[in-house]
Structure 1
Amino acid sequence: MLEDTVINEFRIKPISPEKVVSSVDGETAYSLESIPHGKCDTPTKVEEMISNIPVTETTLGFESDTECDSDPYDLITYNADKSENARYEYGDHAPGEGKYQEECRFKPGEKVLCLMYEGYDAVFPGIVVGPLTEEYLRKLYETNEDMQIGYSSADEAVEEWLDWNWDSVIVRPLVRLKNDWEEMGDTVMVNRVYVFPYKRFEV
């Protein structure tokens, strides 16, 4: 069932040097701090709540996250100036469906900031490669042990890949990071709504 919309603020903090594998041209990654600001039950209240949140020098942006059975259903990200960054609406993002490879506001070759959870809880700069493709996912399956444990075949991975995860962008990280069980490769998948305009923070 649909849950109330949760409002979060994204702030950045210095990242532990131990989490950095490599960096290009002095680029910097940051640790992510997600700050909850409460719940809302109408779009008007969402806009009002976000408009009243003070912006700090370390604010990357905001999100309004409406989930259904613990999965993203309607998720909007906002820039630090509170303008809309991107929106995800559940459904039709798998190959062959109407919103497959939904257009990203950033074009291939653009430098961006990417927000990633999945054990990283980090914000890092990268270069947009393009939208996630079925071919990319199949190739990833051949080299990713975690995917091979979770899925019996590349076909199964493609078939069961969540709608939320299909709405992703392939990015070449300019700062490669590691978490407790893996490190980033030459390219990574980032949810489209978590790709933000490039900015350098002083922290």
Structure 2
Amino acid sequence: MKITVYRGNDRIGGCVTEYESNGWKLFVDCGEQLSGEPVFNNALEIDGLTCGDLSKSALLITHYHGNHIGKIADLAPELPIFVGGISNEIAQELLDNLNPGNEESRSMAEHLGFVKTFVPGEQFSFGEFCIMPIIVDHYAFDAYAFCIDAENLKVFHTGNFCVHGFRSGKLPQLIEKYVGRVDYVVCEATNVNRPAATIKSEHELQKKFDSGHCDMASLDSLLDMLTPKAIISIHTDNPRHFADMFCEKWPVILLEDGESFSAIRDPGFDTTTAFVIAFQTPDNSYEVIDNPENLQWWTVDKKFLGEFLWWDDADSALHHVVYAPKRLLGYSIESDEDMAPFLYVVYNPDFTEHSEYTEGGHKPDDGGKQADCGYIPGQRVLAIIDDVLLPCEVIDPLTEDFLRKDFNQDGSRSEEDFQEYKSDLWDWDWDEVVVRPLVKIKTEFGEIASDTTAKRIFIFPYKG
């Protein structure tokens, strides 16, 4: 599924979001620019929406406000438009009573006369997409979020919403029943410049008008319900501020006007995956057995950004993601074939290459790459071992003798057992370095051995 954002990260009004799957296109909202915002060119030229082949395209409307629905008069009448039933009735009443006789209002009314309406909580389909409309609170009655499912990927599009209205107590049940966990959240960030916006109940709002948009603390609680891999901001004129508010907990993907994020869920064994790698302070589940030099150590905070059809898609995703900049170790992209990596690259935070694994030549009798690991015995490094980032001393590249000793620690296994075990190892399994941790740690899996192995590509320069 490819997600493209138009006019979503330089202004609050007039955003269009495109979801594309195998040639089918689903657009969400097509509105006017908000009055009072800096003036932009309001014309849109989007293939499948305002021009080109419309036969596999449709438009979803979250609610009837002009900055979400105001440009539908410019669309071809054959383009299917889906909107909530009551929202459609309200929009038509507003057009009939606020601007009677206005040519644009008349054209909008004609379009609204041919829309398809949906019912909250009832899934419907269009082409490759399954759409679940979720009714939400907003200061437009009959406003919706959408759970959009295609190619086994699930995206939650929030629309404009708040969690302090009449339905606020039911939102967790609605999410649990109709949505569940999702892969990505495309979310409004209207209030990003008002992070301390006061939460008021809808009863209070009846007495004093205030924002019907989500405050940032409540958005965080929604994300906890949805547990996405990453979030994509829309409806904001300050995307970097939005990223700064959430990137300690969630990877935030920032897309410029017309840029895309493309992810898949591949049921097969050949995949390309992307990760963001950071470090964090250990929790109480880890026990320090010995730390004679009082050295600092961390646990690894590795965020899975998704699976991708092409390496360039994974690379693009990482170049657009913001996550834990003060704790960032780097990024990685892995391409697997039959469940084993054939190409694995780790990048530094500035996207210079830190290390690379390419399949072939790492077995002891296959070119001896493992003997040229790039590290000197006795050198201090930081190595990732069992999801812990530990200060270590380099011993040697991985050798068959070390592997044999490690395999038969209790002396109960035969040489025949070892040879069988060795024959099942992939080339990837040999690209390791023997290290000696300088801090002895016990994890939930047991004590990390005094001499153990670390993946060569996940060894970093030592920082005392």
TM-score category by the smaller chain?
0.7 to 0.9
Matched residue, 1:177: 441
Indicate yes or no: 2:424 matched with 1:156. Answer: no
CA distance in 2, matches of 1:65, 1:28: 29
2:356 to 87, 92, 105: 87
2:275 to 8, 15, 35: 8
Written as runs of structure 1 = structure 2, the 5 A alignment for 1:95-134 is: 95-101=364-370, 103-116=372-385, 120-134=386-400
1:51 to 319, 325, 346: 319
Aligned partner of residue 370 in structure 2, secondary structure: coil
Between stretches 15-24 and 77-86, larger displacement belongs to 15-24
CA distance in 1, matches of 2:446, 2:413: 15
Q: Which runs of 4+ in 1 moved over 4 A?
A: none
Q: Which has the higher strand share?
A: 1
The CA deviation at 1:2 is 6.1
1:141 to 407, 420, 425: 407
Q: Which protein, 1 or 2, shows the higher relative CO under an 8 Å CA cutoff with sep ≥ 6? A: 1
Indicate yes or no: 2:461 matched with 1:190. Answer: no
Name stretches of at least 5 consecutive residues in structure 1 with no aligned partner.
Answer: none
Indicate yes or no: 2:310 matched with 1:42. Answer: yes
Between stretches 181-190 and 43-52, larger displacement belongs to 43-52
CA distance in 1, matches of 2:389, 2:294: 15
The CA deviation at 1:10 is 0.8
The CA deviation at 1:136 is 0.7
CA deviation map 1:69-101 (0-9, x unaligned)? 222221111122322111112233211102441
Matched residue, 2:223: none
Aligned partner of residue 15 in structure 1, secondary structure: coil
1:10–1:34 CA contact under 8 A, matched in 2: yes
CA distance in 1, matches of 2:445, 2:316: 40
In structure 1, give the amino acid aligned to 2:287. Answer: K
Matched residue, 2:336: 67
CA distance in 1, matches of 2:371, 2:342: 16
Aligned partner of residue 447 in structure 2, secondary structure: coil
In structure 2, give the amino acid aligned to 1:65. Answer: E
Name stretches of at least 5 consecutive residues in structure 2 with no aligned partner.
Answer: 1-267
2:384–2:454 CA contact under 8 A, matched in 1: yes
The CA deviation at 1:6 is 1.0
1:79–1:196 CA contact under 8 A, matched in 2: no
Across the two proteins, how many residue pairs are aligned to each other?
A: 195
What is the RMSD of the two structures over their aligned residues, measured on CA atoms? 2.6
What's the TM-score once normalised by structure 1's chain length?
Answer: 0.82
CA distance in 1, matches of 2:359, 2:425: 13
What's the TM-score once normalised by structure 2's chain length?
Answer: 0.39
1:2–1:66 CA contact under 8 A, matched in 2: no
CA distance in 1, matches of 2:276, 2:290: 28
Aligned partner of residue 48 in structure 1, secondary structure: helix
